[in-house]
Amino acid sequence: MKCPHCTVAFFPETERLGIGVDVEGFWNLAILRCPTCKKLILCLEQGNRLLGEVTPNLPALSGGVYNMTMREPKLSMVRPKGSARPPCPPEVPDDIKEDYAEACLVIADSAKASAALSRRCLQHILHDQGFKSDNLAAETDMIIAKGKLPSSIAENIDAVRNIGNFAAHAQEGIAVGEIVPVEPEEAEWNLDVIESLFNFYYVQPSIAKKKRDALNLKLKQSGKPAMK
Ligand SMILES: [Zn+2]
């Protein structure tokens, strides 16, 4: 797995600390330590025990380890909080970075809030790239038509605009006040699309510029004209 703190990959060795048992199942704290940054990664683990099943003879609270009895445990990361994603590339402008970081931070608690922040982040990217109109749908159309994006990215951009967006569904018979649900996978997908835009518009051009600058310096040093 990749460390959610420093994103360096490592072979996970999990220790489990039993927290207790209640009507919803067994609760453990799963503990991993990253060998690179030395930080602990903590996950709350809930064993999937059905109601009415015979309760094993375990105390309500103990230091025991219940992982042997867990079926399909559900994990929620409590440290670091949020999505296990690499940090935002430094080339991305600060205001855009902020929306993205918050979209990652809230995803575990609210996929809907994360999707809303992803949408805002998309709009910031569109404006930063010069695609400005009076609404996000028109701006999305502009970037798809003129953004020179590879089709693998262009085909997914409209998902970010649509997922959880009430306005996008307003003409499709959804009553006012009705909430468009967002699945966690959809909110994650939004972040994937945003990351691919970061790479295309900010990271790759910066890498290409560094290479050009290095080559031009070499040409200059050998008395040749700079590349066109
Ligand atoms: Zn780490």
pLDDT 10s digits, 65-122: 544 456 667 778 888 876 667 778 889 999 999 999 899 888 878 888 999 899 999 9
199 alpha carbon to ligand 1 midpoint, in Å?
23
pLDDT for residue 27 = 83
CA angle 202/208/211 to nearest 5° reads: 140
Percent of the chain with pLDDT over 70: 82
77 alpha carbon to ligand 1 midpoint, in Å?
15
CATH superfamily placement of domain 94-215: Nucleotidyltransferases  domain 2 (1.20.120.330)
List the single range of 79-93, 116-130, 149-163, 181-195 with lowest mean pLDDT: 79-93
**Which CA distances in Å does 154 have to 3, 68, 136, 203?**
30, 46, 15, 17
142 alpha carbon to ligand 1 midpoint, in Å?
40
Locate the domains of the chain by residue range: 15-52+59-79, 94-215
Q: Helix H segments across 22-133?
A: 94-106, 111-128
**Which CA distances in Å does 198 have to 122, 127, 165?**
10, 14, 22
Rounded Cα distance, 104 and 5, in Å: 13
Identify the band that residue 49 occupies on the pLDDT scale cut at 50, 70 and 90. low
pLDDT for residue 68 = 46
pLDDT digits (tens, 9 = 90+) for 30-41: 899 999 999 999
Rounded Cα distance, 156 and 132, in Å: 19
12 alpha carbon to ligand 1 midpoint, in Å?
11
216 membership: H or E segment, kind and range: helix 204-221
